[in-house]
C-alpha cells in the first residue's frame, strides 16, 4: 500500500493496471488494509492473512531482491514464508 500512496503523491495518479486490480487498490488505500488477488498457481501451499513476525521474505513490485520485513505488520503470506501483499 505504501507504494500505491507514493505513486499517487509523486504522479498525482495511479497507473491503470486493469479494472479489478484498480478497484482493490482503491479499496486498499481507503481502508488501509491490503486487499489483493493472487495467482493460485504461484502460491506455495496455503495463503494466510496475519501479522508478520519479521522472518518473512518480501520482494517489492519492480525489484529483484527481498527487503527486510518488520514484525507486527499486516500481510498475506504463503507456506514458503513469502509475503504476497503487505499493508505498508
Q: Answer yes or no: is pLDDT of 5 > 90.
A: no
Number of domains present in the structure of the chain: 1
CA dist 9 to 2, 3, 12, 56, Å?
Answer: 11, 10, 5, 28
Domain enclosing residue 67, as ranges: 2-86
Three-state DSSP class for 22? Answer: helix
CB 74 within 8 A of CB 87: yes
CB 65 within 8 A of CB 54: no
Residue given cell 502460491 in the structure block:
43
Better pLDDT: 22 or 1: 22
pLDDT at residue 1 above 70? Answer: no
Give per-residue pLDDT as tens, 14-54: 778 788 888 878 887 888 777 777 788 889 999 999 999 99
Amino acid at each position: 500500500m505504501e507504494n500505491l500512496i507514493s505513486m499517487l503523491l509523486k504522479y498525482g495518479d495511479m497507473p491503470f493496471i486493469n479494472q479489478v486490480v484498480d478497484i482493490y487498490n482503491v479499496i486498499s488505500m481507503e481502508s488501509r488494509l491490503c486487499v489483493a488477488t493472487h495467482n493460485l498457481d504461484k502460491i506455495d501451499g496455503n495463503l494466510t492473512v496475519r501479522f508478520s513476525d519479521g522472518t518473512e521474505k518480501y520482494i517489492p513490485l519492480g525489484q529483484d531482491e527481498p527487503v527486510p520485513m518488520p514484525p507486527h505488520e499486516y500481510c498475506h503470506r504463503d507456506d514458503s514464508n513469502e509475503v504476497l501483499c503487505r499493508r505498508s
